Structure 1
Amino acid sequence: MHLIDRINDKEENALIELMNMYGDYLLRTAYLLLEDHQLAEEVVQDTFIIAFEKGHQLGDPDKLKSWLTTIVINRCRSQMRKWSWKNIVPAFDWVKEEAYNQTPEVELLAVIDNQNVSKAIQTLDYKYREVITLFYFNELKISEIACQIKTKETTIKSRLKRGRMLLGKILEKGEGVVEAGERKIKKST
């Protein structure tokens, strides 16, 4: 029996399995769109509740991940309409990363780079942040993004191009860049 069929039968174990399969993916997506970890968690919880209650609306069980992503995007948009978001963005500390055998200095520079890119992305308008998140972090194709957010592919391409250009300008200017002093990093002499 397919997972969505088990969800339609209101099996709690199926919901837990669904949460284990897609929880991290949806949380990362929501966080990148909303800039707030707690709010992202709330949106993902709402997404799973909606999926559990309305699983029968999913026509093709093979499109479960896409359907869940659409729900998350819509919930994030709803949150963005309710509130004005101008919060300072924490780094991706909560995102799991593979540990590499690197020197502490290289790891520290990678953390700072991550924070700089994160802050730069968060300064973009939502429409650019949304397509950049879906394209680069969720690795969706342009056609999939267009389908998810119900926009033309050409619009997605223009938003990606404009978003990359704005992101480049922000990073060039150093706006929102984490300074070594902010992280209390002492430069060795």
Structure 2
Amino acid sequence: MENVLQNVATDDQEVVIHELMNQYGQQVLQLAFTYVKNKEIAEDLTQDIFVKCYKALSTYNGTASLKTWLWKIAMNHCKDFLKSWYNRNVSVTAEEEQRGTAKELVEQAVLKNETDDELIAAIMQLDVRYREVIYLHYYEDLPLRDISTLTGHNINTIKTRLRKAKALLKAELEG
């Protein structure tokens, strides 16, 4: 990572983006998938995210880690996509949603190499604000303070969302 930071300083942007894609590409894809629940859309978003990073690399000032900077761009891009998608599309009926759920569960299991399909299904049913906290805390091992910085929410809000997400998951898995 030290070499990447040196390349940022020397304006070798192509090398930096290549290194970021190699190091974080799969994680960014997984993050995007937690937002959109669709592998193809997540792949498109991941490409868009790295294009945005390439264009914004000159604005990186080093106050946060490169990973934190990348995550912030990724999360904002996914949220922007969801906002624009919601405004462009008619709401899906419950029947259509149920038909898509089985396919999404299979894609999620393959994408994350997880064996616990029931847990994945429960996580993917959570509202995005809860999925986001669960993903960042448990799958990316980020401390709550870093999640607070990434999302722009107060740490107490993050704690509340994590607690609520765990309660919702518990109810879903036990129910």
TM-score, L = length of structure 1: 0.75
**Distance across 2 between alignment mates of 1:59 and 1:143:** 20
Residue of 152, 158, 165 corresponding to 2:167? 165
Q: Deviations over 1:140-182 (max 9, x none)?
A: 1110001001000000000000010001111112xxxxxxxxx
Does the Cα contact within 8 Å between 2:28 and 2:71 map onto a contact in 1? yes
- Identity across matched positions, percent: 28
* Distance in structure 1 (CA, Å) of the matches to 2:122 and 2:12: 42
Alpha-carbon RMSD across the aligned residues, in angstroms, is 2.2
| Deviation, structure 1 residue 11 | 4.5
Aligned with 2:111: secondary structure? Answer: coil
- How do residues 105-120 of structure 1 correspond to structure 2 at under 5 angstroms? 111=115, 114-120=116-122
Query: Once the two structures are superposed, what CA deviation does each residue of 1:64-113 show, in whole Å capped at 9, x if it has no partner?
Result: 00010111111111122123585422232123x5xxxxxxxxxxxx73xx
Contact 1:2 1:61 in 2 (8 A): no
Distance 1:119 1:131 in 2: 16
3-state SS in 2 of match to 1:92: helix
Indicate the SS of the match to 2:110: coil
* 1:156 aligned onto 2:173: no
1:41 pairs with 2:33: no
Query: 1 or 2, which has the higher helix percentage?
Result: 2
The more displaced of 11-20 and 139-148 is: 11-20
Once structures 1 and 2 are overlaid, which stretch shifts more, 25-34 or 153-162?
Answer: 25-34
Q: Whole-Å Cα distance in 2 between the matches of residues 135 and 10 of structure 1? A: 32
Equivalent residue number for residue 132 of structure 2: 130
Aligned length: 158
Map of 1:93 onto structure 2: 110
TM-score by length of 2: 0.80
- Tell me whether 1:50 sits opposite 2:52 in the alignment: yes
Structure 1 unmatched runs, 5+: 98-109, 174-189
Which amino acid in 2 is paired with 1:21? Answer: Q
Q: Which residue of 2 aligns with 1:30?
A: 32
* Distance in 2 separating the partners of 1:39 and 1:5: 33
Give yes or no for contact 1:4–1:61 (8 Å, CA) kept in 2: no
What is the DSSP-based 3-state SS (H/G/I as helix, E as strand, rest coil) of the residue aligned with 1:93?
A: helix
Gaps of at least 5 residues in structure 2 are: 87-91
Structure 1, 76-85 or 34-43: larger mean CA deviation:
76-85
